[in-house]
Amino acid sequence: MNVSTRKFRFGGRESVVTFGRIEDAVGEESASGLVVCDANTQRFAGSFELAKVVLEAGEEHKNWKSIERILDTAVKLKLGRDSRIIGIGGGVVCDMAAFAASVFMRGCRVTLAPTTLLAMVDASIGGKTGIDFAGYKNLVGSFYPAERVHISVQTLLTLPERDYRSGLAEVIKHALLGAEDLLELLEKEQKRFIEREAGAVESSISRSLDIKGAFVERDFTEDGIRAHLNFGHTFAHALEAATGFGGFSHGEAVAWGMTRALAAGVVTGITDKAYAERVRQLLERYGYFTGALPKGVTVQSVMAAMTQDKKKRRGDLRFVLQRNCGDTLITALDEAVVREVLTTDQVSKIR
């Protein structure tokens, strides 16, 4: 697979993705700017002479207070619209650095150097920025693609296993959404991915970006096809809510959610059964939970979380299903179907 510079056009703005050493994340074009990182990623920002805002790590700090700290520093440094905010970190840092850049002087320049696999294949790409607000995830934000995204797989070596696996689930999702070649690679080269072998990881990121980038280029503001990227997420959000956002990482929940969406497709006659079983086996081999429901989680609690989600969205709950690899659709599902896949253990056992 070809790992090289990628150029995307998201909503009329160019986003250039490069691969290389983390030391090259900040180029000469960033003479005026500031670095945003968190307590765990400041180690990657050490060589840069720019001022740094070191935020506390974690989703609970994805809020106004952190944005104010970034903006306050930008004002103190007398940055201008031409200055650059450089986010070095996971999805939380990337979302906030880009959000701050989108509102500072109505939009200054932004570079993202993602340091989690999830941020490399997802959060840093496609222009969604934001913070959590009033108890809702990503309620406040903007569409503001990073002008530059610099990916350095060397940073993944210090990433905790759980966070790495969380990102890997999104890589698998991207493969299912349209890259049979990546799917085969993930099947054949599992050891290389589990061991974070740089070549395998870099090429899977690169291929993942092709997939996500193509969806976002076609539908920047998510009025249609971009929603396919939410494959597995309706079930995942419900599981995360039912387990108090602590039991499962987002990626683990998405992996499980994809098996449930495929099971729902099998029940309704939409999904090729052999494909659903192939994906389930792959996810199981990578260590994700693929049964109907994890121990201790009730059908009622997941259904209640879905109802809650539906209320929040003020409309029907839509599910992203697949007929096969790269053949995706969005549909509503009968409650009986959802119940069935939450109680039937394996896709192969369903009709």
Ligand X SMILES: NC(=O)c1ccc[n+]([C@@H]2O[C@H](COP(=O)([O-])OP(=O)(O)OC[C@H]3O[C@@H](n4cnc5c(N)ncnc54)[C@H](O)[C@@H]3O)[C@@H](O)[C@H]2O)c1
Q: Which residues bind ligand X (CB under 6 A)?
A: 38, 40-41, 57-59, 62, 89-93, 95, 115-116, 118-119, 122-123, 126, 128, 137-138, 155-156, 158-159, 163, 166
Q: Which long-range contacts (CB under 8 A, 24 or more apart) does 193-196 make?
A: 193/168, 193/286, 194/286, 196/153, 196/156, 196/157, 196/164
Marked catalytic residue, from 150, 165, 173, 212: 212
**2 belongs to the catalytic site:** no
- At 62, list the tokens: 């994805």
Minimum separation from the CB atom of position 289 to ligand X (A):
18
Minimum separation from the CB atom of position 215 to ligand X (A):
11
Q: In this structure, are residues 209 and 201 in contact, taking their beta carbons and an 8 Å threshold?
A: no
**6 belongs to the catalytic site:** no
| Cβ proximity to ligand X, 149 vs 350, nearer residue | 149
Q: In this structure, are residues 292 and 342 in contact, taking their beta carbons and an 8 Å threshold?
A: yes
| Cβ proximity to ligand X, 69 vs 273, nearer residue | 69
Looking at the chain, which runs of residues are DSSP E strands? Answer: 6-10, 13-19, 33-38, 51-55, 84-89, 109-114, 128-133, 136-143, 148-151, 319-324, 327-331
| Cβ proximity to ligand X, 123 vs 347, nearer residue | 123
Give the list of residues 6+ apart from residue 178 with CB closer than 8 angstroms, or none: 211, 214, 325, 326
Nearest-5° angle of CA 29, CA 31, CA 37? 95
**230 belongs to the catalytic site:** yes
**84 belongs to the catalytic site:** no
Marked catalytic residue, from 150, 170, 207, 280: 170
Looking at 147-289, which runs of residues are DSSP E strands? Answer: 148-151
Marked catalytic residue, from 2, 28, 78, 106: 106
Marked catalytic residue, from 109, 173, 228, 250: 250
**295 belongs to the catalytic site:** no
| Cβ proximity to ligand X, 104 vs 215, nearer residue | 215
Q: In this structure, are residues 350 and 267 in contact, taking their beta carbons and an 8 Å threshold?
A: yes
Strands 327-331, 319-324: pairing kind: antiparallel
| Cβ proximity to ligand X, 201 vs 333, nearer residue | 201
**170 belongs to the catalytic site:** yes
Minimum separation from the CB atom of position 86 to ligand X (A):
15
Residue 233 to residue 32: CA distance in whole angstroms:
39
Minimum separation from the CB atom of position 40 to ligand X (A):
3
Minimum separation from the CB atom of position 274 to ligand X (A):
30
**233 belongs to the catalytic site:** yes
Marked catalytic residue, from 128, 207, 228, 260: 128
Q: In this structure, are residues 117 and 156 in contact, taking their beta carbons and an 8 Å threshold?
A: yes
**65 belongs to the catalytic site:** no
Q: Which residues are catalytic?
A: 106, 128, 170, 212, 222, 226, 230, 233, 237, 250
